[in-house]
C-alpha cells in the first residue's frame, strides 16, 4: 500500500530463503511477486524479466500449482504490456490467463481467476476503443464477482465497470460504481485501492462540471498522505497535479503554485519525465493566465523538449518490449527442446546454424545440412502477405541515409518479431516492401488466421512508430490464399522464394489497396468470415486478373 522499498526488500529476502531451502514453490511464488512489485513501480524491464522466470518456475510444478501460478503470471504480463502501451499483446496474455483459469475452474471449482481474466480482457478492449466489447467482458467479470462473493474481485470489477461507464458518458452510473468500489476497499483497509476509487469519483464530478466537489475529494486525498498510508509518492504527484490544474482554471490561479511545486519536487526526485512534461505545460498555462508571456514561452519550450525526448525513448522501448514478448513466447514453446538438447553439440553447430537460419527457414536449413542439393516443392494451401510503406520514397529524399535506414530498421524489426511470434515465414524485403507467408515450409491449418492477426499488428505498429518518430508514414497491405511453388535458388548466396499465381494476386491486392488498410481477396474473406470483421470494397479491375471482388480486413 505505501512503501515499494520495503516490498522489494521483503520479496528479495523471501526469494533468498526459498532458494536456500531449495523450495521450488517458494522460488516460483517469490519470483512472481517480485515481478508484480516491479510492475507496480513502473520498472517494466525488471518486471517482464521476473515474470518470465516465474512462468518457467511454475511450469515445472505439478497441477494445480502450475496452472494457478501460470494463470497469475500471464495476467500480470498482460497488465505490464497494457501499461507500456501494447494493448494487443496484453490481450493475448489475458486470454491465455482466461484459458488457464477455465482449466483451474474445471478441476477445482474456483471461478475467481476467471473473473479477473474477464475484467482484464475488458480493460484491454476499452484501451483499443472497443468500448461496447470491453463493457461486455467487464459485466461478465462483475457477475463472477457477485457469484463468488470475492471482495477483492468485486471491488476491482466495480472500478472497471466505472471506467466503462465514464468512457461511455454515463457519469451518474460511473460515480455509483466508483463509490461502491471505495466502500469495499475501505472495508479491507486497501488504502491504495481507496485512493484510486476516490480519484475516479473526482474525475467523474469534474467531467460533470462539479469542480468544487471534485476539488474537495482531491484535497481530501492529498491530506491523507500526511498519515503515510495512502500510497507511493507517484500517486501523490498525480493528485497534486489535478489540484493544481483545477486551481489554474479557477478564479484564484495563484493557489495552484504550492501544489505545482510539490508535484515538481516529487517528479524530479523520481525522474517522472511524463509528469515533468505535464507540469511544464501547466506552468506555461498558469503564466499565460497572468499575462506573463515570456515565462509561459519558456515552459512551453521545455514541455516540447521533454515530449520530443519521451517520444524518441518510447519508440526504442516499443521494439525492445516487442522482442521481450516474442522471446517469452518462444521460450514457452521450446523449453522442453532446450532441456533435452546436448549443450556441447549445440555449441559446435551454433555458428553454422546461425548462418543458414539468417537466410533460410529452419526446416529448409536442416534439409541442406542433411545433404539435399535441390529443394523445390508445391504447397496447395498457403497465405501470402505483401506490405509496402506509403510515403517512404518521399521521406527518403528528405532525410539523411542514416535516418532512413534507422526508420526502416525499426519498422521491419518489429515485423520480424511478429512473423516469428505467429509462426510465419519472412520471405524477403525489397526496398520498403515486405513479404511473408503462412503455411510454408511447415503446412498448418491456421495460416490465414495467423497472417490476418499479424497484418492487424503491422498496421498498429506503423501507426505508433510513425507517431513516436514524427514521420508521415502509413502501410498498405495485400493478402491472398492459394497454392505456391517454393524453393531455394543460388549456390554462393542462398535465397528461399515463392512463385505462382497466389503470389502475384497477393502482390496485386497490395498495389491496388489503400494506405492504412488491409486489402484481401474474396477467398481470404470467406475462410476467415466469423472470426474477423471485413468491409466489402466491391468489384475492381485488377491488373492481369480482370474484375475481382475484394474486401478490407477491419479487425
Helix ranges, 436-492 (H): 447-469
State the Cα angle at 259 between 257 and 260, rounded to 5°: 65
d(CA 97, CA 73) in angstroms, rounded, equals 8
Specify the pLDDT at position 225: 67
| Tens-level pLDDT at each residue, the chain (555 residues) | 557 788 999 999 999 999 999 999 999 999 999 999 998 887 888 898 899 999 999 988 988 888 999 999 999 999 988 887 777 888 889 999 999 999 999 888 899 999 999 999 998 888 888 888 888 999 999 999 999 999 899 999 999 999 889 888 899 999 999 999 999 988 887 777 887 888 899 999 989 999 899 999 888 888 776 555 555 677 788 888 989 989 998 888 999 999 999 999 988 887 888 889 899 999 999 999 898 888 888 888 888 888 777 666 654 544 454 455 445 555 544 444 443 344 444 444 555 455 555 556 766 767 666 656 567 788 999 999 999 998 888 888 888 888 888 888 888 888 888 888 888 988 888 888 999 999 988 889 899 999 999 999 999 888 888 887 888 889 999 999 999 998 877 665 667 788 889 999 999 999 999 999 999 999 999 999 999 999 999 999 988 889 999 999 998
Specify the pLDDT at position 495: 72
Neighbours of 124 (CB within 10 A): 26
Residue 241: how many CA atoms within 13 Å on its side-chain side?
A: 23
d(CA 536, CA 529) in angstroms, rounded, equals 12
Bridge-based pairing state of the strands 376-390 and 433-438: antiparallel
Specify the pLDDT at position 368: 64
Specify the pLDDT at position 347: 47
d(CA 169, CA 146) in angstroms, rounded, equals 25
CA 292 to mean position of chain CA atoms = 42
d(CA 525, CA 480) in angstroms, rounded, equals 9
Specify the pLDDT at position 273: 83
Residue 525 CB partners (closer than 8 Å, separation 6+): 534, 551
Cβ-contact 124, 97 below 8 angstroms: no
Specify the pLDDT at position 358: 56
Quick one: three-class SS letters along 75-90?
Answer: HHHHHHHHHCCCHHHH
Amino acid at each position: 500500500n505505501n512503501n515499494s522499498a520495503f516490498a522489494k526488500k521483503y520479496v528479495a529476502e523471501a526469494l533468498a530463503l526459498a532458494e536456500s531451502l531449495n523450495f521450488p514453490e517458494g522460488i516460483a511464488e517469490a519470483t512472481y511477486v517480485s515481478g508484480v512489485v516491479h510492475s507496480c513501480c513502473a520498472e517494466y524491464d525488471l518486471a517482464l524479466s521476473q515474470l518470465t522466470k516465474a512462468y518457467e518456475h511454475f511450469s515445472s510444478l505439478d497441477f494445480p500449482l502450475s496452472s494457478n501460478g501460470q494463470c497469475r503470471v500471464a495476467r500480470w504480463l498482460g497488465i505490464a504490456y497494457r501499461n507500456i502501451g501494447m494493448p494487443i499483446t496484453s490481450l493475448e496474455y489475458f486470454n491465455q490467463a482466461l484459458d488457464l483459469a477455465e482449466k483451474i475452474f474445471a478441476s477445482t471449482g474456483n471461478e475467481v481467476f476467471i473473473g479477473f481474466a474477464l475484467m482484464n480482457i475488458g480493460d484491454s478492449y476499452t484501451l483499443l476503443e472497443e468500448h461496447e466489447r470491453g463493457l461486455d467482458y467487464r459485466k461478465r467479470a462483475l457477475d463472477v464477482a457477485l457469484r463468488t462473493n470475492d471482495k477483492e474481485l468485486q471491488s476491482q470489477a466495480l472500478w472497471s465497470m466505472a471506467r466503462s461507464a465514464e468512457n461511455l458518458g454515463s457519469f451518474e452510473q460511473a460515480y455509483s460504481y466508483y463509490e461502491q468500489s471505495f466502500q469495499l476497499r475501505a472495508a479491507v483497509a486497501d488504502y491504495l485501492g481507496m485512493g484510486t476509487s476516490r480519484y475516479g469519483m473526482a474525475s467523474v464530478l469534474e467531467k460533470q462540471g462539479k469542480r468544487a466537489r471534485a476539488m474537495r475529494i482531491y484535497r481530501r486525498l492529498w491530506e491523507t498522505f500526511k498519515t503515510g498510508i495512502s500510497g507511493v509518492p507517484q500517486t501523490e504527484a498525480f493528485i497534486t497535479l489535478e489540484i493544481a490544474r483545477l486551481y489554474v482554471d479557477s478564479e484564484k490561479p495563484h493557489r495552484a503554485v504550492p501544489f505545482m511545486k510539490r508535484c515538481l519536487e516529487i517528479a524530479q526526485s523520481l525522474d517522472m519525465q511524463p509528469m515533468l512534461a505535464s507540469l511544464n505545460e501547466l506552468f506555461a498555462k498558469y503564466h499565460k493566465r497572468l499575462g506573463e508571456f515570456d515565462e509561459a514561452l519558456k515552459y512551453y519550450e521545455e514541455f516540447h523538449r521533454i515530449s520530443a525526448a519521451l517520444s524518441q525513448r518510447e519508440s526504442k522501448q516499443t521494439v525492445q518490449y516487442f522482442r521481450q514478448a516474442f522471446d517469452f513466447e518462444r521460450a514457452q514453446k521450446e523449453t522442453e527442446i532446450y532441456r533435452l538438447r546436448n549443450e556441447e553439440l549445440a555449441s559446435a553447430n551454433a555458428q553454422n546454424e546461425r548462418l543458414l537460419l539468417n537466410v533460410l527457414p529452419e526446416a529448409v536449413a536442416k534439409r541442406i545440412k542433411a545433404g539435399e542439393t535441390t529443394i523445390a516443392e508445391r504447397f496447395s494451401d498457403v497465405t501470402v502477405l505483401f506490405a509496402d510503406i506509403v510515403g517512404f520514397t518521399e521521406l527518403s529524399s528528405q532525410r539523411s541515409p542514416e535516418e532512413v535506414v534507422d526508420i526502416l530498421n525499426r519498422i521491419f524489426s518489429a515485423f520480424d518479431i511478429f512473423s516469428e511470434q505467429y509462426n510465419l515465414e519472412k520471405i524477403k524485403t525489397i526496398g520498403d516492401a515486405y513479404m511473408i507467408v503462412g503455411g510454408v515450409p511447415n503446412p498448418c491449418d491456421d495460416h490465414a488466421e495467423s497472417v490476418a492477426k499479424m497484418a492487424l499488428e503491422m498496421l498498429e505498429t506503423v501507426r505508433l512508430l510513425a507517431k513516436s518518430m514524427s514521420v508521415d508514414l502509413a502501410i498498405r497491405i495485400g493478402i491472398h490464399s492459394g497454392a505456391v511453388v517454393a524453393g531455394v535458388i543460388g549456390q554462393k548466396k542462398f535465397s528461399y522464394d515463392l512463385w505462382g499465381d497466389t503470389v502475384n494476386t497477393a502482390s496485386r491486392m497490395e498495389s491496388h489497396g489503400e494506405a492504412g488498410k488491409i486489402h484481401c481477396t474474396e477467398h481470404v474473406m470467406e475462410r476467415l468470415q466469423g472470426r474477423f470483421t471485413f468491409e466489402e470494397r466491391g468489384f475492381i479491375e485488377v491488373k492481369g486478373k480482370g474484375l475481382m471482388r475484394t474486401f478490407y480486413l477491419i479487425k
